Structure 1
Amino acid sequence: MTLVKFFKPLYSMYYTIGSFSLNILKLFVKSDDHVILFISFGGKKFDDSPRVIYEGMINDSRFDKYDLVWAFHHPENFKIPRGKKIKTDSIKYFITALKARCWISNSTVERGLSFKGKKTFYFNTWHGTPIKKMGEDISIENKSFGSSAKWNVDMMTSQSKYEADIFSRVFNIDRDKFLVCGLPRNDSLANVTIKAKHDMMRKIGLPMDKKVILYAPTFREYERDKKLNCVLAPPINFEKWKKEIGDEYIILLRAHYEVAQVLNLNANDGFVYDVSNYSVLNDLMIAADILISDYSSILFDYSILDRPMICFTYDYEKYMHNRGLYFDIRKEILGGSNSEEEILDLINNLPFEKASDLVRNFRRKYVESYGNATKYSLDAIFKSIN
C-alpha cells in the first residue's frame, strides 16, 4: 500500500482495476441491513470517534439487532467487545464493505478506491479540525497525498462552522451533509475535574508530585527515511529540558500515528515518557497540565479542557511552503517561537491568565460544539439506517 500511495502510475492502475472489479462484484453482493462496519485510521487502531460511537452502540438497545464489524490491518492485535474482526484489504473486507448498511470511519473506508455499497450509509467523523491544508488545497507538488477516489460521505461530524466549511470544499462534500455537533471522541474532555485528572495520572502511571507537559507534534509527510517511513526530528535537547524544568515537570511525548520513528530523542528516563503507542489519546490530554504542539488538530481538542497551550513552530516557514496552513497558529496561542530556549522560558514563567484567555478565545472561534456528539451521532445514524 505504501508503494501504491507514492507511485502515481501504480496507484492509477490500482484505482482503475480495483474500482472496476469491486463495482462489478457489487452487482452480485446482497446488501445486509444489519451490518455496520467500523474502521479507524484506515485499520491501524481501535480508537478515536469510531470507537466511542461503537461503545455507545453496544450500550444502546436500538442497535441490539446489528452485526458490528471492525476492520484492522492486524486483527489479532485487538480485543473488542461483542463485535467481529476482519482484516483490511482482504476479500472478506471488501465484501463486508459492499454489503454493509452503514460505514463508520474517521478517515476512509474505500482504501483509495470507489465502490460504496448500493444501500450503504457512510458516516464519517474525521479525526480533527484543520490547521494544515487538506484535500484539494494541498499542492500537487506534495507527493504524499493524492487520490482519485471520491468522498461518498452521507454525513460528517464537525466541531464548528469553520471546520465544516473547509471540509465541504476540499473534500467536495455537500455542506448540508455536515452535523455540527462536535467529535464523539471529545465528549470525555468536557467537564473534567481535578480529581479526574489525578485519577488519570495514576492510571497512566505518572508521578503525582510533578506537573505534566504533553508534547504532541504533527507529522511532516515530506520527511521520510529510505523505506518511505515518516520520521520526526524536532530540534530538542531533552537533557537540557530536564535540567531546566525537571524538578517541576515531566514530558509525555506523543508522536503522530503516521510517524514511524522520532529521531534524536531519548525517552522513558523518568522525565520523558514515550506515550506514542498509548491507546487512548484523551487520557493523556486529561492528565496534562500544558499542551505543546505545532500544526496538529490536538490543539482544538485540548482547548476544551481550558488549560494552557503553547505552539512550538520551529519550522514554520518550511512547513508553510511544503504543506500550507489555513491560519497562523502563532497569532492564536502562546509561543510561536523557533527556539527551545524561549519555550523553556515560557514554561518557567507561564503567564497563566493570558494563556487561559487565549485558549478560551481560540475555543470560541474554532470549537463551537462539544460534549454531546456521541448522542447526536447515534441518533442520526439510527434515523438514517431505519
Structure 2
Amino acid sequence: MKKLITKIIKKVIRECAKSMFIVLSWLPQNKHLIMFESFSGKQYSCNPKAIYEYIVEHHPEYNGVWSIRKEHSSLFLQRKIPYVNRYSLKWFISMARARYWVTNSRMPSWITKPKHTVYVQTWHGTPLKKLVSDIKEVHMPGTTNETYVEGFHQESKNWDYLISPNRYSSDIFKRAFNFHKEMIEVGYPRNDIFYTHNNSSYITSVKEKLGLPKNKKIILYAPTWRDNEFFRPGKYKFELNMDLNLLKEKLGEEYIILLRLHSFVADNFDLSGYEGFVYNYSRFLDINELYLISDLLITDYSSVFFDFANLKRPIIFYTYDLESYSGKVRGLYFNLEEDAPGPVVKTTQELLQAISDYENNGLEAYEEKYNRFYQKYCYLDNGFASKRVVEKIFLGEAK
C-alpha cells in the first residue's frame, strides 16, 4: 500500500511539473541564454564543460548557466560559475526561456522542449558497449527492453544536433538512438585539452592541486558500471575484483593508483590500509585532468580508452567478466581481444605482467594496432573541436 501511494504521489508531481513547464514555455525567449548540464546535473565536466569554457573565452555575448543538483553546488560557487539548482523555480524559468540546451545525457522524460529552444546533445563517449536499440536484453532495474528503447527514442526526437567524435560513432548513434537530424561530426570538445594542455607545467600543477607525489608513476583505473549489478533502480554497485594487497606489494614503490568509477556506481569503497597507494577520485569532476597526469590506463568496457588513446600512452583492459558482459549483460560492438590497442587480461597476476611488459618494452608490442586504432577513432581530435561546434551551431543559428 505504501509503495502504491508513493508511486501515485510521484506521478502527480511529474504531471504538475510537466504542466508548469509547458505554461512557462510561453514566456519570452532569452536568445543569449545557454543552459548547460553534465551527467544529469552531477558534474562540471565532459563536452558541455569544454563548450562552455570556449564560449566564455571567445563569445561573452552568450550567457551560460549550469543546471546542477543542489548537493554539487560548492564547486560552482568556488569557481564563480553561474548555476541554478535542478527543479527549483528559477530552473524551470531558465530552462523554459533558454535558446539552447547543451547536455551529455538525457533530460527528464516529462520535460517538453519549447519550440524556441535548440537542443544540443553532446553524448559522452565513443561506444564500445552496445546502445539502446542495439542492446538485445536490457538488465537495468525497473524497465524492459520496450520501455527503455521507446523512452530513449522519444527523447532523441527532441535533439536538434548530436555531436559525434568520428564516423564510426555517427553510424551507431543514428541507428541506436534513432536520430535523423543533424550530426556534428567534428571530434569531441572534451578532448581538446589533450592537445592544448599536455605539457609538464600543467601536469605538475594538477598533481600539486590533488596533493599527489611527483616521484611516482600514476595508474588510472577507470572501469564502467554493470547493468545487472544494482541495489535498486538507479543505484548500482561495483566490486573492484582485483587484489590490492598484491598490487601494493609489487607496485607500491614506483606507482600509485587513481580510482575513477562511473557516475552510476553507488558504492563507497573502504580503502583503509591503502593510503598513499590508492586514491579514490570517483567524485573528481574532470576525468580529463586525471588522463593527463596518468602514465597508464586500466579500464574494461568503458569508453574512456577512446579518449585516452589521444595521448598514445599504455592501456590495459582488465576484463575479468568478458564472456558474460560481451554476451548476456550488454554486448560489444567489436571484438575487444582482437582490436583493443593493448593487452586484455582477466586476473591480477596477468595485470601485473602486462604492466611489467610495458615497463620493459613500452608500446612496441602494440604499436601497429594502436596506430590503426588512433586513425579510426581519434583522427578528428586536434584541439579545435569546441571551436568547430560553436561556429557550426551557435554562430550558425545566430545568422
1:248-271 Cα shifts (integer Å, max 9, x gaps)? 211111111111215575575111
1:126-173 Cα shifts (integer Å, max 9, x gaps)? 111111111222245423462263211111221100011111111111
How does the TM-score come out when normalised to structure 2?
0.85
1:35-67 Cα shifts (integer Å, max 9, x gaps)? 21111111111122211211221222x442x33
> Could you tell me which residue of structure 2 aligns to residue 178 of structure 1?
183
Instruction: Report percent identity of matched pairs.
Output: 32
Q: How does 1:2-21 map to 2 (within 5 A)?
A: 17=15, 21=19
> Could you tell me which residue of structure 1 aligns to residue 397 of structure 2?
384
Unpaired runs of at least 5, structure 2:
none
Distance 1:356 1:87, change over 3 A: same
> Could you tell me which residue of structure 2 aligns to residue 42 of structure 1?
40
CA contact (8 A) 1:237 1:265 kept: no
CA contact (8 A) 1:15 1:113 kept: no
Q: How does 1:1-386 map to 2 (within 5 A)?
A: 17=15, 21=19, 24-25=22-23, 28-60=26-58, 62-64=59-61, 66-74=62-70, 76-79=73-76, 84-108=82-106, 110-144=107-141, 146=148, 147=151, 149-151=154-156, 152-174=158-180, 177-190=182-195, 192-225=198-231, 229-261=235-267, 266=272, 269-320=275-326, 321-331=328-338, 332-350=340-358, 351-352=361-362, 353-370=364-381, 371-380=383-392, 381-386=394-399
Which has the larger displacement, 69-78 or 321-330?
A: 69-78
Runs of 4+ residues over 4 Å off in structure 1: 9-16, 80-83, 262-268
1:301-355 Cα shifts (integer Å, max 9, x gaps)? 0000010111001111221211111112222232222211111111122242123
Query: How far did residue 30 of structure 1 move?
Result: 2.7
SS in 2 for 1:42: coil
SS in 1 for 2:227: coil
Q: Report the residue type matching 1:37 in the other structure.
A: M
Which has the larger displacement, 127-136 or 255-264?
A: 255-264
SS in 2 for 1:232: coil
How many pairs align?
Answer: 377
Q: Provide the rounded CA distance (Å) in 2 between the counterparts of 1:291 and 1:159.
A: 20
Query: How far did residue 360 of structure 1 move?
Result: 2.4
SS in 2 for 1:349: helix
How does the TM-score come out when normalised to structure 1?
0.88
Q: Report the residue type matching 2:184 in the other structure.
A: L
Query: How far did residue 190 of structure 1 move?
Result: 1.9
1:238-293 Cα shifts (integer Å, max 9, x gaps)? 11101112222111111111112155755751111111122221111111111000
Query: How far did residue 228 of structure 1 move?
Result: 5.3
Q: Provide the rounded CA distance (Å) in 2 between the counterparts of 1:10 and 1:340.
A: 48
CA contact (8 A) 1:308 1:355 kept: no
